[in-house]
A and B are shown apart, each in its own frame.
Chain A
Amino acid sequence: MMLNRRQILLLLPAAAVAWDFVLADNPAGSPNYKMSDHWWGMLVDITKCIGCGSCVRACALENDVPEGYFRTWVERYHVSDWHIENPQVDSPKGGMDGFPPGKTEGGKNFFVPKMCNHCVDSPCSQVCPVGATFHTPDGVVLVDYEYCLGCRYCIQACPYGCRFFHPKKHTADKCTLCYHRITKGLTTACCEACPTGARQLADLKNPNDPIHAFLKTHSVQVLKPHLATGSKLYYNSLDGSVR
């Protein structure tokens, strides 16, 4: 394609800016962060979760999550005997203030923290009509608040219920895996606040990340595997009753 002089003059500055971004592979402008070096996931260890709700509170504080909506939440399960298909579940205020004592009769009881699964084949980004929700090259599913129309199709398409409609921004919103933190070498707010290490950020591309050893030695599940979303939220000891 032969460009005339005028066309070249118009294209050059735009191309220069774009090329900078491409070369940097580093949208955050943070020192030493290259997107292509990372592939983010999360490990949740059910055996360690105590349902304190610190993660829910920390997330709300770090990300200005509006009250009544949840980027992450904790559910409590009570599975009486063998009724694995009919658990009793509660999540008062998302578990933000912890949980009341609960039943003492027999059966299994445990906590399950939930959040965005940052799926590889996410149904949410598939259905967005304009590309306002998307995958970053380092494996995080994000929402572009300046571009989202607020049609809420992504909220309908998410099988895990992790999205909501932000009452002030009037766009879809959800867990960002604290993208502003992980690109600076910090961990997510929920992992920082978790007192027992039940939540651990995982960088699957980092060969030294403890998740690799963990995945090899533990029984790990994802939620709703039959939907083939490519979830990167791995659970240790997830009971079959968990929805």
Chain B
Amino acid sequence: MGEFKDIAHLIRLAGVFLLGLVLFLVVRSVTIPKSFGQYGPFRGAALVELSSRPLAFAGHEACEICHPDVAALKAKGVHKSINCESCHGPLSKHADDPGNFKPVLPDVAQLCIRCHSENIAKPAGFPQVNAKDHSSGQTCNTCHKPHSPSFDAGDKK
């Protein structure tokens, strides 16, 4: 032991460091999330959490189950590629429980203008009007049916 006399303090120092390392490894094994590394360098359980969010929009296929008549009407007109909730807003709650959640009809004055008000940046050929000039203050559905708005389909009011 004599030859270690002069480095005893260094051995003690090394011991302190070793203790720290062991402590670190123990804490690490206990606190690393179990699912970490399952699919990659991230917490696998996060995928479950992120895909479990409730839906706000039901998706047009859900609407068409109960409203096939409207779907059929829409499919014949120029609005055929617009999904229901694009105008009617998110309706997943209604789709899950139609009796208790009644959708609020959108305000026509605001709704149609969003897409159809004149704007220089809109693609040429897209139907745009200046609301005041076009209908002198009358709401759009005075003349156009939202589900089949074009007059060519023979649905003019």
Give me the interface of A with B, judged by CB distance under 8 Å. Answer: 14, 17-18, 21-22, 27-30, 35, 47-54, 58, 61-63, 76-78, 97-99, 101-104, 109-111, 131-137, 142, 144-147, 176, 179-181, 183-184, 186-187, 189, 192-197
Within 8 A of A (CB), among B23-62: 33-36, 38-44, 46-57, 59-60
A27 touches B51 (CB 8 A): yes
Interchain CB contact (< 8 A) of A109 among B41, B115, B118, B121: B121
Interchain CB contact (< 8 A) of A142 among B36, B50, B59: B50
B35 touches A18 (CB 8 A): yes
B86 touches A54 (CB 8 A): yes
B86 touches A147 (CB 8 A): no
- The winner among B79, B87, B123 for most chain A CB atoms within 10 A is B123
A53–B86 Cα distance when bound, in Å, is 11
A58 touches B48 (CB 8 A): no
B122 touches A62 (CB 8 A): no
What are the nearest 8 A-B pairs in CB distance? A27-B47, A28-B51, A134-B42, A109-B121, A180-B53, A144-B46, A62-B56, A195-B82
Interchain CB contact (< 8 A) of A50 among B42, B55, B85, B115: B115
Give me the interface of B with A, judged by CB distance under 8 Å. Answer: 33-36, 38-44, 46-57, 59-60, 79, 81-83, 85-87, 89-90, 113-115, 117-123, 126
A158–B89 Cα distance when bound, in Å, is 31
Which secondary structure dominates chain B's binding surface? loop
- Distance in Å from the Cβ of B76 to the closest Cβ of chain A? 17
B122 touches A179 (CB 8 A): no
Question: Contacts of B46 on A, CB cut-off 8 Å?
Answer: 134, 142, 144-147
Kindly list 18 other residue pairs between chains A and B, CB separation below 8 angstroms, not including A27-B51, A98-B113: A14-B34, A28-B52, A51-B119, A52-B115, A97-B114, A131-B42, A134-B41, A137-B39, A142-B46, A147-B42, A147-B46, A179-B51, A180-B50, A180-B54, A184-B51, A189-B90, A192-B86, A195-B79
B47 touches A28 (CB 8 A): yes
A40–B83 Cα distance when bound, in Å, is 21
- The winner among B51, B114, B122 for most chain A CB atoms within 10 A is B51
B89 touches A61 (CB 8 A): yes
Closest to B130 in A: A101
- Distance in Å from the Cβ of B36 to the closest Cβ of chain A? 7
A-B contact count (CB 8 A): 154
A171–B54 Cα distance when bound, in Å, is 20
Question: Contacts of A63 on B, CB cut-off 8 Å?
Answer: 53, 56
Question: Contacts of A192 on B, CB cut-off 8 Å?
Answer: 57, 59-60, 83, 85-86
A78–B46 Cα distance when bound, in Å, is 41
Interchain CB contact (< 8 A) of B40 among A17, A135, A145: A135
Closest to B128 in A: A50
Question: Contacts of B87 on A, CB cut-off 8 Å?
Answer: 195
A180 touches B57 (CB 8 A): no
- Distance in Å from the Cβ of A18 to the closest Cβ of chain B? 6
A58 touches B41 (CB 8 A): no
Question: Contacts of A27 on B, CB cut-off 8 Å?
Answer: 39, 44, 47-48, 51
A180 touches B52 (CB 8 A): yes
Interchain CB contact (< 8 A) of B119 among A30, A101, A189, A196: A101
A21 touches B57 (CB 8 A): no
Would A194 and B86 be within 8 Å (CB), given that A50-B126, A131-B41, A147-B43 are in contact? yes
Interchain CB contact (< 8 A) of B57 among A98, A137, A193: A193
